Amino acid sequence: MPTLHYEKIIDLTHPIATSMPVWPGDPKVEIFTNADLNTDGFNLNVFAIGEHTGTHIGVAAHFQTDETTIDKLAVTTLFLPCVVANLTQFCEDNPDFEFSLSHLSSWESIHGIVPAGSIFLAHTGWSKYWGEDKYFGKAPDNSLHFPGFDPEVVKFLIVARKVSGLGIDTAGIDPGKDAFFASNKVLLHGQRFHLENLNNLSQLATVGSHLFIGALNITGGTGSPARIIALSP
């Protein structure tokens, strides 16, 4: 077996905190003390968090009936190669930016064909707005505005490139303005997954990195908060 060589280990995860942003309508994060060292002899906290809050993985059961739950995701799926598309130049002045087939074609003309079985990551730069109103971009009509994937490029990445998953540093792989979650519904079947609310994507090599996805093994779960670590050359 060939040896894998990496120069950097990068944490792609936002810390879990009670002040962290949550999807509109989802429950807020709770963390409270259950036992104290001075009175109980040990410290123990209890926390409550939605499956799709913060940096997380989502699986097919999130949008489909009788589909893969997080405990049925193959363990080999939790350590995979990834590639990164830097889209910051398109997103800075356009919160409704959609990564399209033309953008993918331009990326592949420089970096090569997206490898089968890999995770395709969109680096929009949106993680810098974590905790700010702009992160969700909620308008007076309650519509949301942040970058995401066009469903046509998702179909192409699945069928022609056979990717295992998609990831992004926004609140979702769908553009915020898409209230029907079209890209998620295309992607999430079988063992495919999404990674959302990623952080520090600017530190990854464009090609050649691997991701370890530290998901909780929740019985019947539609996803899980996850510590996502990149090994980057």
pTM for the predicted model, two decimal places: 0.96
- How much is the average pLDDT of 131-160? 97
Q: Is the pLDDT of residue 98 over 60?
A: yes
Tokens 């998620």: give the residue. Answer: 184
Q: Is the pLDDT of residue 5 over 80?
A: no
48-95 pLDDT, tens per residue? 999 999 999 999 999 999 999 999 999 999 999 999 999 999 999 999
Structure-block tokens of residue 93: 């002045």
- How much is the average pLDDT of 89-103? 97
A 10 A CB-CB count for 48 gives 11
SS3 of 99-164: the string is ECHHHHHHHHHHHCCCCCCCEEEEECCHHHHCCCHHHCCCCCCCCCCCCEECHHHHHHHHHCCCCC
146-181 pLDDT, tens per residue? 999 999 999 999 999 999 999 999 999 999 999 999
Q: Which domains does the chain have, with CATH numbers?
A: 8-12+51-232 (3.50.30.50)
Q: Is the pLDDT of residue 187 over 50?
A: yes
Buried residues in 64-99 as b, exposed as e (16+ CB within 10 A): eeeebbbeebeeebbebbbbbbbbeebbeeebbbbb
pLDDT, position 175? 98
Q: Are 101 and 156 in contact (CB under 8 A)?
A: yes
Interhelix angle for 151-159 vs 101-111, to 10°?
Answer: 50
pLDDT, position 4? 63
Percentage of the chain lying above the pLDDT 90 cut: 97
Cα within 13 Å of Cα(202), Cβ side: 7
What residues contact 165, with CB distance under 8 A and at least 6 apart?
Answer: 77, 80, 119, 120, 187, 192, 193, 194, 195
